[in-house]
């Protein structure tokens, strides 16, 4: 779902800033952003690493508390920086404006040289915001939940570097899918369809859709192909046999080791994330730009 924002220039607007501090372009972009916000008298706060990078006295808030003190979060970095920031957003409906300082950025889709014009549109209430579904991935052992993760991109079950194939029983609330013998399994949102899912041969699904993408990693049964499920489906994966070094990871950043007979339950989260869209590009323009498709 795409909607217009309701921002406006003035002291009522509060902006939180998160930066990937070690990126070579981080400091120039951060200085430009802070200078613009000061010139417009917009209230802002930065995370501690951003304040350290600036080397100046500015209002600071920890990443975990920044959403509570902001009406917009601006992320300067790459998709990994935005994914890390997104963990702290729910349940607050705070939009994220992603500024790409890196290479391929499907989430941080606004180039650094277009940062100020995009922000002006948001502050004037003219930017478009798209809501993105998230996943909830839970680990159960002997009926007890050990961990729960929110995922904007994906939940991935995978083997360690030296481990053998992972045997899994995969079922949904519609019934048994299959006994799967593979290097792993990706459960992806449409937002994450252009991440690990795409590299593993999964389909690209437009991010405004509500769907769950299930992509096996190098399955023994070659006819076992990526499958797109309704967002309402719940997927339950049971680790069977006695595999070694099996892990669940959330957005490639957090996770848990898995043991035989552990169950991983993946369903649509009740939370979602709102992203400020690039005003110059539609989704296929983004794909052409990031994936090198022909057209112009």
Residues labelled catalytic: 79
Radius of gyration of the chain (CA): 20
Q: Of 90, 106, 112, 88, whose CA–CA distance to 30 is shortest? A: 112
β-pair partners for 110: 99
How crowded is residue 98: how many other Cβ atoms within 10 Å of its Cβ? 27
On whether the CB atoms of residues 13 and 127 are closer than 8 A, the answer is no
C-alpha span between 137 and 216 (Å, rounded): 17
Burial of 175 (0-12, 13-18, 19+ CB in 10 A): exposed
Count of positions (residues) in the chain: 296
- Cα separation, 189 vs 207, whole angstroms: 8
Residue pair 245/150 in contact by the 8 Å Cβ criterion: no
Identify which of 81, 61, 78 has the alpha carbon closest to the alpha carbon of residue 69: 61
Task: Determine how β-strand 166-172 pairs with β-strand 235-239.
Answer: antiparallel
In the block, which residue shows the tokens 């539609």? 282
Specify whether the CB–CB gap between 243 and 260 falls below 8 A: yes
- Going from the C-alpha of 261 to that of each of 2, 68, 221, the distances in angstroms are 41, 39, 22
Q: Which whole-number Å values give the CA distances from 65 to 74, 85, 275, 277, in the listed order?
A: 14, 11, 19, 24
């Amino acid at each position: 779902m795409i909607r217009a924002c309701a921002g406006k220039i003035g002291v009522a607007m509060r902006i939180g800033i998160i930066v990937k501090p070690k990126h070579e372009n981080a400091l120039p972009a951060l200085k430009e952003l802070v200078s613009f916000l000061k010139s417009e008298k917009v209230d802002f706060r930065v995370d501690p690493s951003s304040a350290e990078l600036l080397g100046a006295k500015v209002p600071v808030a920890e990443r975990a508390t920044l959403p509570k003190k902001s009406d917009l979060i601006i992320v300067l970095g790459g998709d990994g920086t935005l994914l890390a920031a997104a963990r702290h957003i729910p349940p607050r409906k705070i939009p994220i404006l992603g500024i790409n300082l890196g290479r391929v950025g499907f989430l941080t889709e606004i180039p650094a040289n277009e940062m100020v014009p995009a922000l002006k549109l948001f502050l004037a209430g003219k930017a478009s915001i798209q809501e993105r579904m998230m996943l909830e991935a839970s680990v159960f052992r002997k009926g007890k939940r050990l961990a729960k993760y929110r995922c904007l991109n994906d939940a991935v079950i995978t083997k360690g570097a030296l481990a053998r194939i992972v045997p899994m029983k995969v079922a949904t609330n519609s019934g048994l899918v299959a006994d799967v013998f593979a290097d792993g399994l990706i459960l992806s949102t449409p937002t994450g369809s252009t991440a690990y899912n795409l590299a593993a041969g999964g389909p690209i699904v437009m991010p405004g859709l509500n769907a769950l993408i299930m992509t096996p990693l190098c399955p023994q049964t070659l006819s076992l192909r990526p499958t797109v499920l309704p967002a309402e489906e719940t997927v339950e994966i049971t680790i069977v046999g006695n595999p070694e070094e099996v892990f669940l990871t959330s957005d490639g950043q957090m996770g848990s080791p898995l043991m035989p007979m552990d169950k991983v339950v993946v369903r649509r989260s009740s939370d979602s994330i709102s992203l400020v869209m690039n005003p110059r590009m539609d989704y296929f323009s983004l794909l052409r730009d990031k994936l090198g498709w022909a057209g112009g």
